[in-house]
Chain A
């Protein structure tokens, strides 16, 4: 029974931390998409 709590705790730690890192990576990806849009707009303006 005690092992169950140990497994649950370690799952919580690593799912929690990796979930946070994945969420940040998603934000980074969205930001890259925004930069691409801005870059395209800038090129259109320059042309």
Chain B
């Protein structure tokens, strides 16, 4: 009898959903009238941004929980989510620039949405640098917890920047409606589901890797002491 491997659930689901999502982007969703084919970047640009926000939200919650409980698991969750969040934000900035060039005729402009996103990237990238610079586990976890909590303040600013300030960045999800045709919306939702499942798989893998590394380090330190 074959046993069901629970750890393979999310990576397996992602392996199914991602090709479906890419297929829908290129073969199901219609071509946008003004922007043409380049608009198809949007179907992964937005899910990447939303999963990056989710990462930083998890990092913030983990930071709060670490400061309350001082348990290693919360530091592992924080480290994993910050690292994944930085990778995703990097991809958001790259895809945004590649979308901006043919549409705005520039790779970069100091628009509020773009600027606040770059600041977000800098905050959490510096959190990663800070983590690699401190050897003492308790200090490293405390400092990065504080940084993740403070850094999360920028997430709602990024989200609201295109709504509150004069911005050239489009806002698709509005308070009263979603500015997309049904087939485009369905494609976007499938892409979001695929990215979310991928994120969960990646997050679980990174947390377990972090904990294993910490345990091995403990064993090595104990070994050298005795």
Contacts and interface: CB of A to CB of B under 8 A. Distances in A.
Interface stretch (B112-120, B130-138, B152-160, B209-217): B209-217
A2 B87 contact: no
B98 A28 contact: no
B223 A16 contact: no
B209 A2 contact: no
B185 interface: no
Label chain B's interface by main secondary structure: helix
A47 interface: no
B202 A31 contact: no
B216 A1 contact: no
Interface in A5-47: 5-6, 8-10, 12-13, 16-17, 20-21, 24, 27-28, 31, 34-35, 38, 41
Interface residues of B, number: 30
The binding surface of chain A is classed by DSSP as helix
A28 B102 CA distance: 40
A9 B35 CA distance: 15
A21 B202 contact: yes
Contacts of B206: 24
Nearest to B98: A9
Given A21-B202, A41-B223, A16 B37 contact: no
A1 B35 CA distance: 12
A5 B38 contact: yes
Contacts of A35: 216
A16 B216 contact: no
B98 A5 contact: yes
Nearest to B213: A31
Given A5-B98, A31-B213, A16 B41 contact: no
Contacts of B142: none
Given A2-B38, A17-B91, A27-B209, 18 more contacts: A5-B101, A5-B102, A6-B40, A8-B98, A9-B41, A9-B95, A10-B41, A12-B91, A12-B94, A12-B95, A13-B91, A16-B87, A16-B91, A20-B87, A21-B202, A24-B205, A24-B206, A38-B220
6 contacts: A5-B99, A6-B37, A9-B41, A28-B209, A35-B216, A41-B223
Please give me the 7 A-B residue pairs with the lowest Cβ-Cβ distance, nearest first: A2-B38, A9-B98, A9-B41, A9-B95, A12-B94, A5-B98, A2-B102
